[in-house]
Amino acid sequence: MQLNRLVAFHKTMGDPTRIRIVYLLSKGPLHGQAIAGKLGLTPPTITHHLHKLRDINLVYTRREKNTVYYYLNEKIILHQAVTLEKIISQKEELEEMEQDYAYRKKVLDAFIQTDGKLKSIPAQRKKKLIIFEHMVKGLKKGVKYEEKEINEYIKNFHDDFATIRREFITNQYMYRENGIYEVNPPEMWAKIE
Amino acid sequence: MQLNRLVAFHKTMGDPTRIRIVYLLSKGPLHGQAIAGKLGLTPPTITHHLHKLRDINLVYTRREKNTVYYYLNEKIILHQAVTLEKIISQKEELEEMEQDYAYRKKVLDAFIQTDGKLKSIPAQRKKKLIIFEHMVKGLKKGVKYEEKEINEYIKNFHDDFATIRREFITNQYMYRENGIYEVNPPEMWAKIE
DNA sequence: TATCTAATTAGATATATATCTAATTTTATA
DNA sequence: TATAAAATTAGATATATATCTAATTAGATA
Question: What are the two backbone dihedrals, phi and then psi, of residue B47, each rounded to the nearest 5 degrees?
Answer: -55, -45
Separation CA A9–CA A54 (nearest Å): 11
pLDDT, tens digit (0-9, with 9 covering 90-100), for A154-183? 888 899 999 999 988 888 788 787 788 877
Give me the pLDDT at residue A76, please: 81
How many Å from the CA of A17 to C1' of D18? 9
Q: A145 Cβ partners below 8 Å, 6+ apart? A: A139, A153, A180, A181, A182
Give me the pLDDT at residue A21, please: 92
Tell me which chain B residue has its CA closest to the CA of residue A11.
Answer: B14
Question: What are the two backbone dihedrals, phi and then psi, of residue B172, each rounded to the nearest 5 degrees?
Answer: 65, 25
How many Å lie between the alpha carbon of B75 and the closest alpha carbon of chain A?
10
pLDDT band at residue A20 under the 50/70/90 scheme: very high
By the 10 Å C-beta count (0-12 exposed, 13-18 middle, 19+ buried), A177 is classed as exposed
Separation CA B145–CA B92 (nearest Å): 47
The three-state secondary structure class of B114 is coil
Q: Which residue is nearest to nucleotide D27 (CA to C1')?
A: A66
Nearest to A90 among B15, B26, B97 (CB): B26
The three-state secondary structure class of B183 is strand
Which positions in chain B touch A40 (Cβ < 8 Å)? 101, 104-105
**Percent of chain A scoring above 90 in pLDDT:** 22
Q: Does residue B11 approach strand C to less than 7 Å at its CB?
A: yes
| Burial A5-41, CB ≥16 within 10 A → b, else e | ebbbbbbbbbbbbbbbbbbbbbeebbbbeebbebbeb
Are the C-beta atoms of residues B181 and B175 closer than 8 Å to each other? Answer: yes
Give me the pLDDT at residue A12, please: 95
Q: How many CB atoms lie within 10 A of CB B103?
A: 15
Give me the pLDDT at residue A114, please: 63
Are the C-beta atoms of residues A32 and A43 closer than 8 Å to each other? Answer: yes
Asked whether residue A143 carries a pLDDT value surpassing 80, the answer given is: no
Separation CA B77–CA B66 (nearest Å): 29
Interface test with B, best of A7, A42, A107, A134 (most B CBs within 10 A): A7
What is the residue type of B156? Answer: N
Tell me which chain A residue has its CA closest to the CA of residue B7.
Answer: A14
Return chain A residues 40..69 having CB < 7 Å to nucleic acid strand C.
43-44, 46-48, 50-51, 61, 66-68
Window 64-123 of A, Cβ < 8 Å to B: 72, 74, 77-78, 81-85, 87-90, 94, 97-98, 101-102, 104-105
Separation CA B181–CA A162 (nearest Å): 61
Q: Does residue B179 approach strand C to less than 7 Å at its CB?
A: no
Give me the pLDDT at residue B46, please: 94
Q: What integer is the mean pLDDT of A9-19? A: 94
Give me the pLDDT at residue A188, please: 62
Tell me which chain A residue has its CA closest to the CA of residue B13.
Answer: A10
CA torsion through residues A124, A130, A135, A139, sign = positive
Nearest to A19 among B6, B15, B39 (CB): B6
pLDDT, tens digit (0-9, with 9 covering 90-100), for A32-71? 888 988 888 889 999 999 999 999 989 998 888 888 899 9
Q: B166 Cβ partners below 8 Å, 6+ apart? A: none
Asked whether residue A113 carries a pLDDT value surpassing 90, the answer given is: no
Separation CA A176–CA A173 (nearest Å): 10
Q: For the sheet with B145-146, list strands across it.
A: B145-146, B180-183, B174-177
Beta strands at A59-64 and A67-72: parallel, antiparallel or unpaired:
antiparallel
Give me the pLDDT at residue A8, please: 93
Separation CA B94–CA A61 (nearest Å): 24
Tell me the H-state helices in chain A: 3-13, 16-26, 32-39, 43-55, 74-81, 83-88, 98-111, 125-136, 147-155, 161-170
With CB atoms and an 8 Å threshold, state whether B82 touches A82: yes
Nearest to A6 among B12, B19, B83 (CB): B19
On strand C, nucleotides with any atom < 7 Å from a protein CB are 5-11, 14-22, 26-29
Are the C-beta atoms of residues B157 and B118 closer than 8 Å to each other? Answer: yes
Return chain B residues 58..77 having CB < 7 Å to nucleic acid strand D.
61, 66-68
Q: What is the CA A16 to chain-centroid distance, rounded?
A: 23
The maximal CA–CA distance of chain A, rounded, in angstroms, is: 68
Mean pLDDT per 10-residue segment, chain B (193 residues): 86 94 90 87 93 92 85 84 81 65 70 76 82 77 77 87 88 78 69 60
Q: Does residue A52 approach strand D to less than 7 Å at its CB?
A: yes
Window 7-66 of B, Cβ < 8 Å to A: 7-8, 10-16, 19-20, 22-24, 26-27, 38-40
pLDDT band at residue A128 under the 50/70/90 scheme: confident
